[in-house]
Structure 1
Amino acid sequence: MSTCTAIKEVQEVLGKNLSSVDSASLRLRKLLFLGDNSRGDEINAVCKCINDKTVQRRWSSNWALPSGVEAGGKSILLRLEGRLVIHLAGGILENAGMCIHPHFNCPFIPGSGVKCIARHAAWAKWDETKSVEDALKVAWTFGCPTGDAMPKKEKDRTRKEEEYLDNFLEKQRPEWFGENGKYKTFAGSVAFLPAFPVEGDFKAVADIITCHHPDYYGGRKEMATDDESPNPQFIPAIEEGSLFRFVVRPLGRMAGEVPSSETVMKWAEQFLVEGMTLYGAGAKTAAGYGWFSEDKEAAAKQKAEEEARAQKAEAERLAQEQAAAEAARLATLSPVDREKALVEKMTDEEFAALCKQLGEKSDEIKLAVVAVFKTSKKEKWKTWKRRKPDLASEIIKALGAFGKELS
């Protein structure tokens, strides 16, 4: 018999089988049924919460990277080529967790995980070349210590001393990474942000991992034999084909010896793409899970959108500058000249509407209208007097004493 983790009062509010819970995070981590036959049903219930189109639309319409997150940074789009299984140990159901955002109800890859995968790709490149250049790329991009230090106990060491990256850097650049080096403890130059699906482009599914030899792996048998009963385990996964956005941005910690922000950002992007396409994210990567590919079509579309946004932002900036300059210029003019400048900017329709309401306007506006009729709109006034004599008479009457100059 299954047992609900929610108290009776909560169950009454949320309905039978917790049907009113639309938060996948709560459904997986707090509110579920535990029992021998409930695991698969619970995983399916979580997937249903994640895939709810109403929640997805709310998520995709409300969620955006905070303003300025991508300023100076780089957004990278990668397509999931195999199911993604990540953070399995994060739920109440043993080894059946998933990284689900508690507010936006969507799966995501933590920034710490993204950084580790990218750093592994950078380390693998150094491990292949053993060059100072590649070692420094790891340190400047991800920081020091690099995570590859030689164990203190000799029995735990599996490589030569110089084959551990921290020791390699210490020997090659002692003034920077030695015992008293300037960058002995350095946090790196790039921030790796959590990766989210693009515009709700994701689908959660219930997957199965089957242990064919539970007695052998559990230590109850010395040999794995074919007479054991398979033990299928349900786990949540993200279906392949989902498009994820990865974001990296400079941290602004550049010092004299550290390469430029642009250079380090290029390294970070390169290592991130290599890490996700060569090593993958999450569990079961050896079985084809968690692998990504570059989506050139989506990247081209994103580049075009970014350029359009940049052009729009530049146009808005120029418009604001021009408006500020015009406001400053108008502030230096006399009241009549200021009104004249505003009248001259009016469209024909706006100017005609103003002339029909001159009797209600201030003396400054009336004088401004007289001035434009004698200068920039001189021909219009002649035309109105000839073709619209009634309107011209009304204008002169509304102008009062100021209209004598137009008679």
Structure 2
Amino acid sequence: MPEVPLIRDSLKDIYANNLNSDHPTNKHAGLLLDRGFLKYDENQSTLKSDFINKLCQTESSSLYINEFIRWLNLTKDPQNPEKPSRFCQTLFSLENRLLIGLHGASALETGCMINHHNGMPYIPGSSVKGAVRHWARKHLSDELEKIWIKFFGSNPEDTDNDPFSGLVTFHDAWWVPNSAPTASSKASNKRTKSQPFINEIVTTHHLEYYSNEGDTKASDLDDPIPNALIGVHGSFLFTLEGEKPHTDIVKILLEKTLKESGIGAKTSAGYGYFEDASNDLKNRVAILIHSDNETNKEQSVSPALKYEVSQLRESKIIKMFSQDRGSTKKREDYEPLCKLIGEQFYELISQWETETQKTSKNRFRAYGILKDYLPEAKNND
């Protein structure tokens, strides 16, 4: 088959420039997946994999980070007994990779569930609900069905004149910014934590057998056919909505589902299984919520500053307020920066109190600046 163009000539340069951009945050993976594959040529077998490799270089932009922080704070638990939250948030990290939305209509003959607005991966709430419902039906006794069915609503196959949607709403799961694991191999050492997509190769060894639903016998002489797919790695924020007694139960079912059955495509091959998020990730996400409750009352804190502080490590904080203290003090957001760091890293910074010029000069200098921004300093005043 000769080369087949898949897009008008007048648009080729626009999509090609976006795909090959030197700024990964400027790429929109969803738009590229739908319209960015420029041509098909069966004589160039690497066209598909090369395209997917470039698409997988996409990084989360500041727009997505701001959206994530906004969603996080809109669905947080205000910890107010008088006004209990209807939302329940929980974090889980992928053990391996996730394949979701493979059957999306595309010239690539593969797909990925990507938000059309921000170009980042997500897990549809309907998929989460279906997976949890399937786990409950498979593992819970028939006697309990009348109870758990209330959480999910009427069975899809039921011809009920009065269908019921369920007591719990399953919202889309958001990919957590900067949660992708970095590769340790030299061939992939350019990957960053802000790249959610990764090229996956799934090899079909018996194409005719699977294409003909087993009518053609499989043979050891069949040629293996590698197929490039778009995988996702990292962590996701899952959000449930409903009365607390209901969401507490469904949260347990959700955890069982993600850990024991997985979600998405090819779970039998190990894809789509989750594990508990690390304490480090939970703390980083907690900073984004906690800062909105306290510091924001006194002085406006931008989402960008919240996110910056959530990514800080001890070595970076020490450097900012010792070797780089001059440039740090020149920042326009210096005061809210110090307050936010003091609030979120109180226990860490308090440990530097005993440091001296001889034991750790840089910690000594950093503590001299940040001690006035620790919560206990305000109380002492």
Conserved in 2, the CA contact under 8 Å of 1:47 and 1:204? Answer: no
Q: CA deviation at 1:95?
A: 4.2
CA 1:223–1:310 in structure 2 vs 1: closer, same or farther (change >3 Å)? same
CA 1:65–1:228 in structure 2 vs 1: closer, same or farther (change >3 Å)? same
- 1: CA distance, partners of 2:31 / 2:289: 39
Write the mapping of 1:5-404 to structure 2, written as runs, cut at 5 A: 5-15=6-16, 19=20, 22-32=27-37, 33-36=39-42, 40-53=46-59, 55-66=60-71, 68-70=74-76, 71-93=85-107, 95-126=109-140, 129-131=141-143, 134-143=144-153, 145-147=154-156, 185-202=163-180, 203-219=196-212, 222-239=216-233, 242-250=234-242, 261-295=243-277, 297-298=279-280, 301=283, 305=287, 308=290, 312=294
Structure 2 unpaired stretches of 5+:
77-84, 181-195, 299-381
Give 3-state SS (helix, strand or coil) of 2:119's partner: coil
Q: CA deviation at 1:109?
A: 0.6
- 2: CA distance, partners of 1:39 / 1:107: 26
Conserved in 2, the CA contact under 8 Å of 1:90 and 1:98? Answer: yes
Q: Output the amino acid matched with 2:155.
A: T
Q: Output the amino acid matched with 2:244.
A: E
CA RMSD of aligned residues (A): 3.2
- 2: CA distance, partners of 1:205 / 1:311: 36
Give 3-state SS (helix, strand or coil) of 1:84's partner: coil
Q: Output the amino acid matched with 2:206.
A: H
Give 3-state SS (helix, strand or coil) of 1:92's partner: coil
Q: CA deviation at 1:221?
A: 6.6
Higher helix share: 1
Conserved in 1, the CA contact under 8 Å of 2:240 and 2:247? Answer: yes
Q: CA deviation at 1:90?
A: 0.4
Q: Output the amino acid matched with 1:210.
A: T
Larger radius of gyration: 1
Q: CA deviation at 1:103?
A: 1.9
1:354 — aligned with what?
none
Give per-residue Cα distances to partners, 1:369-404, cap 9 Å, x unaligned: xxxxxxxxxxxxxxxxxxxxxxxxxxxxxxxxxxxx
Q: CA deviation at 1:195?
A: 0.8
Give 3-state SS (helix, strand or coil) of 1:90's partner: coil
Give per-residue Cα distances to partners, 1:290-321, cap 9 Å, x unaligned: 000112525752785488358539978xxxxx
- 2: CA distance, partners of 1:237 / 1:38: 23
- 2: CA distance, partners of 1:9 / 1:303: 44
Give the paired residue count.
Answer: 267
Conserved in 2, the CA contact under 8 Å of 1:57 and 1:200? Answer: no
Conserved in 2, the CA contact under 8 Å of 1:44 and 1:206? Answer: no
Conserved in 2, the CA contact under 8 Å of 1:209 and 1:233? Answer: yes
Conserved in 2, the CA contact under 8 Å of 1:75 and 1:247? Answer: yes
Conserved in 2, the CA contact under 8 Å of 1:74 and 1:247? Answer: yes
Conserved in 2, the CA contact under 8 Å of 1:11 and 1:18? Answer: no
2:376 — aligned with what?
none
Give 3-state SS (helix, strand or coil) of 1:28's partner: helix
Q: CA deviation at 1:6?
A: 1.7
- 2: CA distance, partners of 1:50 / 1:303: 24
Conserved in 1, the CA contact under 8 Å of 2:56 and 2:199? Answer: no
Q: Output the amino acid matched with 1:227.
A: L
Per mean C-alpha deviation after superposition, the further-off stretch among 301-310 and 10-19 is 301-310
What is the TM-score with the length of structure 1 in the denominator? 0.57
- 2: CA distance, partners of 1:79 / 1:122: 22
Conserved in 2, the CA contact under 8 Å of 1:122 and 1:137? Answer: no
- 2: CA distance, partners of 1:46 / 1:74: 35
CA 1:22–1:3 in structure 2 vs 1: closer, same or farther (change >3 Å)? farther
CA 1:299–1:229 in structure 2 vs 1: closer, same or farther (change >3 Å)? closer
